[in-house]
Structures are given as C-alpha cells and as structure tokens.
Chains A and B, each alone.
Chain A
Amino acid sequence: MKTREKYIVHDHDRDGLDRRGFLECMAWAGTGMLWTVSGGLLGSSLLASRAGAAEAAKGAFSFVQISDSHIGFNKEGVNTDVVGTLQEAIARINALPEAPDFVLHTGDLTHLAEADEFDTLDQLLKSVKTQQIFFVPGEHDVTGDNGKLYLERFGKNTKGEGWQAFDHNGVHFVGLVNVVDIQQNGLGSLGTEQLAWLEADLKDRSSETPVVVFAHIPLWSVYPQWGWGTDDGAQALGYLKRFGSVTVLNGHIHQTMKKVEGSVTFHTAMSTAFPQPEPGKAPKPGPMKVDAGKLREHLGITDVNYTEGKSSLAIVDTTLI
C-alpha cells in the first residue's frame, strides 16, 4: 500500500514546507502532512501517519473532495484526456492509507452536460473505493436544461436543484447549489428558497456541531471580476456564524486557495481536468495551457480528516504527480 509521503502536498501557508521542502522532510521523517486549523489559525504539522493518528482518535474519519472533472472537455495544449486524469485521481484516492468514508464531488462533472458525459463519469466513479459519493452540480452540469439530466442521475435524495444535508459521525454536511441562476455580474447565487431551507436546516443544531458546507462556486468572494464568488453567499455564511467549526469546500476556480475567517475555513480544490489562471493574472479566466509535463502538478484531490473533539478539520491537497 502506498503511503502519503509518495505524494506532494501544497504549501498553502508559504511556510517553507513547499514541495521540495516537504520531500526533504519526508526523507527523514517518513510522515504525512496535515493542514490543521486551531483557534482560527491555519497551521501545518507532520504526523507519524494519518492512519496512526486516526487510530488514536475516537470518532475520526476522512473523506475526499474531487472537483471539476469536466468529462467531455478536449483541448489541445490543455488536456486531451480528462478521462485519464480523472482515473489518475481515482487511483490516488484508492491508494490512500485508509479508504475515505465518502467522496464529495463539487461540480462540473461534465463539460457540456451531455448524457454520455454524465454516463462516462458515473462509470469511472464506480471504481472509487469508498462507501458513497455525494455531488453538487457546477454550471457546466446544468447547461441547457437547468440540471434535469444531472438531477436524474445524481440528484437522488436531494431537494430543489440538488441541495442536500446529511450527518456523519457527528459532523453535519450541507451541499448547496449556486450555479443555476448566475447573476448579471457573473456571480453564482443560492436564491431565497434554498437560503430559507438552509436556515431551517441549521436552526436547531447545536453550535458545537462541526459543519462542512460544499458547493461549486466559492461562497466567499475570491475574485468577483471573474465571477468567482456567490452573490448571496454572505447570507448563507451568516447562518453559519454561530458554529464553532465551519469548513467550506468549493471548486470552480481549478486551484487551491485557502482563507480563514473566525471559525470558518474556506478551501477550494484543484480540478482533475485542467488548471485556470490565478485571479487577475490573465486577461480572463478559462482553461490554462501549461507544459504537458507539468499538467499533473496542477490537478489533484483534497483529503479531509476529522477527529472528534478537535475544533478543526485537517485538509490535505495532493497533486497527480
């Protein structure tokens, strides 16, 4: 079984533990790295192994986030084999020291919302070693039919346009849909009906309940000029403010980004298909050409670990290389 040290972990904090530094650490430590949030501050730590840590902690579990697989996308110079790179991401998941309890796919399953694209994704994900996969749609999945095909295949046990909530080992998970009603400024939106549902869903829960929210477009304002944010995201975050531990997982921007505000940790995941430019560092967003040999440095998965009694979830990004 492969261990985490075979992989590369992003240095979100620019704290010296970049790819090179990490690998150097691995040479003597033989460990994995966890990103943790404690007292509202993001930090990193090296652990003997996540498996060992998990064994020591009661109620611990992990899940994996994948995003933006864009099945159907095919662009020379960017990625002409998105099926292949998704398969590599699945291999990464299946090689984790412990199988994740479940997987979250945070949208843009497909590129053109065509039936055959959805079917291909469905077939590919059958090989993931996990108990269940939860989905929220991206704007590419609802094109043309407001998500009808998507909901037929992946909307089981969801409400409205695909909203959902479930509990797992004491953690409350909420999947939100912010891609159906894109606003004039290009931002996503949740809409009044979904916001009312969210408010009601959270209303009677203890503020000590850890909450994980997942949606496609970032709920926080990453870069509004490119539509990288949710118009009414602040209202949703207002409902979450009283909770002691909130983790918000998004996709859409095809790169990792992290921000901590009080008890809320925001995190965006890499795509399994293609990267996009950093905010403002290109005339416009969109698929970014990189050297063929470097594509996999920009693609990957996100592994999230929860330990009961800790106020934070540990988030590990792993690239495909």
Chain B
Amino acid sequence: MKILRPIFVLTALALMAGGRADAGAGPPATIVANGRALFLRNCAHCHGADAHGDDGPDLHGLDLPDSWIANRIRKGKKGQMTAFAGKLQDADIEALVAYVQSLK
C-alpha cells in the first residue's frame, strides 16, 4: 500500500490538472473532446471553428502554461474577450485548456 499511495496521488494530481502533458502524458481524450465542444459553443465565433483565428488569434502552437491560458479564459480581455469566470465551471475551463493545448 505504501508503494501504491504515491502513484494514486500523482494520478489524482494529473487528473486535476486536466491530464496535461506536464504530467508526462496527454490529457484524456474525453476531456479534450469536452473542451472542443465547449470551444465550439463559446470561442469559435472569435477564434474560428478550426481555432486558426478569426476576430481573435490563432490558438495553435501556443507556448504558454496551462495556468496562463486558464487565467485568460477566466478574466478575459476588456473589449476583446469575454470573462468566463462565473459563467464556466472550473472543470469546463480545464477542459478548454486541455483542448487548446492539444492544438499543434
């Protein structure tokens, strides 16, 4: 049990982080898929359905940490991007981050 406990903790941490590559593995496909669905509803009209940009910027190949992207989603950008804090749940924002980070 002493050996298994750290593994359990690491797995839980990885899941809490949305399963990002930071933890050594890509996020679960279901989270990315959920992020894609949320993206279409909330972001595609500015970033394009293919996320290659429209009014908003192209989101492919961002070299930014999860925390930065999550923060931008929560706080938005005055006059340019909706602040999603209070509108989307934390899990939704994590899924969006996972989807954006999956765009290469």
Interface on A for B, CB 8 Å cutoff? 72-74, 111-114, 139-140, 142-146, 180-186, 227, 284-287
| Stretch in B3-11, B12-20, B23-31, B46-54 with 4+ CB within 8 Å of A | B46-54
Contacting pair A184 B42 (CB below 8 A): no
Contacting pair B82 A144 (CB below 8 A): yes
Contacting pair A140 B45 (CB below 8 A): yes
- Within 26-85 of B, Cβ neighbours of A (below 8 Å) are at 40-42, 44-45, 48-50, 52-55, 76, 79-84
Check A180/B41 contact, CB under 8 A, given A112-B76, A186-B48, A284-B53: yes
Identify 7 residue pairs between A and B in the complex whose beta-carbon atoms are under 8 Å apart, listed by A's number.
A73-B79, A113-B82, A139-B44, A143-B82, A145-B87, A182-B49, A284-B53
Contacting pair A227 B49 (CB below 8 A): yes
A72, A111, A143, A186: the one within 8 Å of B42 (CB):
A143
List, in ascending order, chain B residues with CB within 8 A of A74's CB. Answer: 79
Residue among A142, A182, A183, A285 facing the most chain B CB atoms (10 A cut-off): A182
Check A114/B82 contact, CB under 8 A, given A183-B40, A286-B55: yes
Distance in angstroms from A126 CB to nearest chain B CB is: 24
Distance in angstroms from A11 CB to nearest chain B CB is: 29
B50's nearest neighbour on chain A, judged by CB, is A186
B48, B50, B55, B88: the one within 8 Å of A144 (CB):
B88
Interface on B for A, CB 8 Å cutoff? 40-42, 44-45, 48-50, 52-55, 76, 79-84, 87-88
List, in ascending order, chain A residues with CB within 8 A of B84's CB. Answer: 144
List, in ascending order, chain A residues with CB within 8 A of B83's CB. Answer: 112, 114
Contacting pair B81 A181 (CB below 8 A): no
Distance in angstroms from B21 CB to nearest chain A CB is: 24
Distance in angstroms from A95 CB to nearest chain B CB is: 30
List, in ascending order, chain B residues with CB within 8 A of A284's CB. Answer: 48, 52-54
A110's nearest neighbour on chain B, judged by CB, is B82
List the 8 closest pairs (A to B, CB-CB), nearest first.
A186-B49, A144-B87, A139-B45, A286-B55, A112-B82, A74-B79, A182-B40, A286-B54
Contacting pair B44 A186 (CB below 8 A): yes
Cα distance A111–B82 when bound, in Å? 8
List, in ascending order, chain B residues with CB within 8 A of A73's CB. Answer: 79
Cα distance A287–B56 when bound, in Å? 10
A113's nearest neighbour on chain B, judged by CB, is B82
Contacting pair A184 B49 (CB below 8 A): yes
List, in ascending order, chain B residues with CB within 8 A of A144's CB. Answer: 42, 82, 84, 87-88
List, in ascending order, chain A residues with CB within 8 A of B41's CB. Answer: 142, 146, 180-182
Contacting pair B82 A182 (CB below 8 A): no
Cα distance A73–B44 when bound, in Å? 17
List, in ascending order, chain A residues with CB within 8 A of B87's CB. Answer: 143-145
A217's nearest neighbour on chain B, judged by CB, is B45
Cα distance A187–B44 when bound, in Å? 10
Cα distance A297–B50 when bound, in Å? 31
A185's nearest neighbour on chain B, judged by CB, is B49
List, in ascending order, chain A residues with CB within 8 A of B88's CB. Answer: 144
